[in-house]
Amino acid sequence: MHFSPDRPTFFVNPDYRPMAGANKPVIDPATLETVGTIAAASDDEIDAVLTAATKAQGPWKKLDAKSRAKHLHAVANAIEAADLTRCAELMVREMGKPYPEAIGEIANCAPIFRYYAEMARDDAGKIAGTTQAGSFQYARYEPYGVSVHIMPYNFPILLMCWTVAASLAAGNACVIKPAEATTLSTLDYMAVFRSLPEGLVSCLPGGAATAQALIASDRTHAVAFTGSVAAGKAVAVACAERMKPCVIEAGGSDPLIISEHAPLEVAAAGSVTAAFHLTGQVCTSAERFFVVDAVHDRFVALFAERTRALRIGNGMDKTEICPLVSEAARAKVMRLVDDAIAHGAKAVTGGRIPPAHDTGWFYEPTILTGVTPDMAIVREECFGPVAAICRVKDFDEAIRLANDSPFGLGASVFTTDLAEAHEAAERLEAGMVWVNNPLIDNDALPFGGWKASGLGRELGRQGLDAFRRSKMVIIDHKPAIQEWWYPYPDSWFRETGGRKHV
């Protein structure tokens, strides 16, 4: 069976299978037209996926590292050879991102499969100094079994590949639960996995109930989740109740500091991307700006000038600012902006629905000044095209206010002062810090947050270790009776009043 956006399906490698559930339309957030249909997985469909995954994982975990790496390189080859045009167009029409970002995301996932293909060949188990003569003592790593991947809508393919590549490299089977908003593009992408063993990778559409069923199942053994803080906490609790390991990337409200030593032209240009990339729907978007008083007005002027040049429209056109994913997402942004303005903030740009785009869930890129740390827009995650600017007296106050948050995913600084750069890296309470170049990631470095922004890490060796468990092994190659084994010799006891005490 071939994949069609108009026919609800799920995927069990290498096949697409029809779904029995009620059809649900997928709506284009730019035009409000129907893109296709999806359905939520039934109990029987969940069972079929888990049965196939369990069967496939047994032989997969027994493969030697070189053979497993060959399979992952084959996936990378398939990604590089595939015509991903339809997948990219589906993503644009499902969730609204600009087409260049969609095609770039889904085409550039091959390197992570190559990275983990080779990383897993270097097991990195530890041989320890022995605690006993004649004993060989070491640690080895083994897969958990079947991993569940609960994905977000903003980077549905890239973030899925981050954790799936690591989990496969570790020896697990993978079940992907795509975001409802990007189910079609995720299903379309599944064809790149067809070179893998039958049943090893599956894609199971559905909502929260499907995710809950997968987490609760005794046939799943590890969970990767990316999404909101509230949902992340629920996933972490559900996993904890079952002693099931999880990786949680739960977003945040990232700060961006503009020092008095900032290169202002560069800072203004970088801030546009940091705040408005993907219409602000990036977990690491800069939402809270702390601008030192000495450069505040000049920075705001440059930032506003560049922001006003951004084009608003459908992601299939030549635009940078596309609609938010849903009416509810836009309503939250509007609530936070309106609240800030009511409490004294000023909209230098935006702050409204663009008059030329009254169909769809559009909102103008918005810069607010006069924001104070007690406003809701600073305390909550906005997840929209809004930069909330607080004026601060100096770098120390900027650091203090940046840390005054329940979140701790990423943080950015613009400065040409080397001391400030190092101070920021040391003092900012976040899992990632960028100086003069926000939003960058690296396959070889851990990605994840502090505080309410998450648990565990994706990417790097930590990303691989998230999907495997360690085992201590001690081998005595010259078996001998040990002196500390029972029974103890009498000489080990002391006598007191006719009684012996160890």
The answer to whether residue 98 scores a pLDDT higher than 90 is yes
Mean pLDDT of the chain: 96
The answer to whether residue 273 scores a pLDDT higher than 80 is yes
Q: What is the pLDDT of residues 437-446, one digit of tens each?
A: 999 999 999 9
Could you tell me what percent of the chain has a pLDDT over 70? 99
Query: Residue 123: what pLDDT?
Result: 83
User: Mean per-residue pLDDT for 55-65?
Assistant: 97
Q: What is the DSSP string of 368-386?
A: EES--TTSHHHHS---SSE
* DSSP-H helix ranges across 325-459: 327-342, 376-379, 395-403, 418-427
The answer to whether residue 92 scores a pLDDT higher than 80 is yes
The answer to whether residue 502 scores a pLDDT higher than 60 is no
- With CA atoms as reference, report the closest residue to 139 among 368, 470, 479: 470
- CB within 8 Å of 105: residues ≥ 6 apart: 91, 155, 157, 158
The answer to whether residue 361 scores a pLDDT higher than 80 is yes
Query: Residue 134: what pLDDT?
Result: 85
The answer to whether residue 256 scores a pLDDT higher than 80 is yes
Query: Residue 497: what pLDDT?
Result: 58
7: tokens are: 């026919």
User: Mean per-residue pLDDT for 259-280?
Assistant: 98
Return the HEC string of 439-464: CCCCCCCCECCEECCEECCECHHHHH
Please list the active-site residues.
249, 283
Q: What is the pLDDT of residues 141-155, one digit of tens each?
A: 999 999 999 999 999
- CB within 8 Å of 241: residues ≥ 6 apart: none
Residue with tokens 């022995």: 130
3-state secondary structure of 483: coil
Beta partners for 286? Answer: 254
- With CA atoms as reference, report the closest residue to 363 among 376, 382, 348, 350: 350
Strands 246-249 and 222-226 come out as parallel
Q: What letter represents residue 421's amino acid? A: A
The answer to whether residue 303 scores a pLDDT higher than 70 is yes
Q: Cis peptide before 487, with omega less than 30 degrees from 0?
A: yes
Q: What is the pLDDT of residues 149-205, one digit of tens each?
A: 999 999 999 999 999 999 999 999 999 999 999 999 999 999 999 999 999 999 999
Query: Residue 494: what pLDDT?
Result: 82
Number of residues written out for the chain: 502
Query: Residue 133: what pLDDT?
Result: 86
Q: What letter represents residue 416's amino acid? A: T
Burial degree of 42 (CB within 10 A; 0-12, 13-18, 19+): middle
- CB within 8 Å of 71: residues ≥ 6 apart: 63, 168, 195, 196, 197
- With CA atoms as reference, report the closest residue to 29 among 98, 103, 105: 98
Q: What is the pLDDT of residues 469-494, one digit of tens each?
A: 999 999 999 899 998 899 999 999 98
The answer to whether residue 500 scores a pLDDT higher than 70 is no
- Residue 369: Cβ within 10 Å count: 20
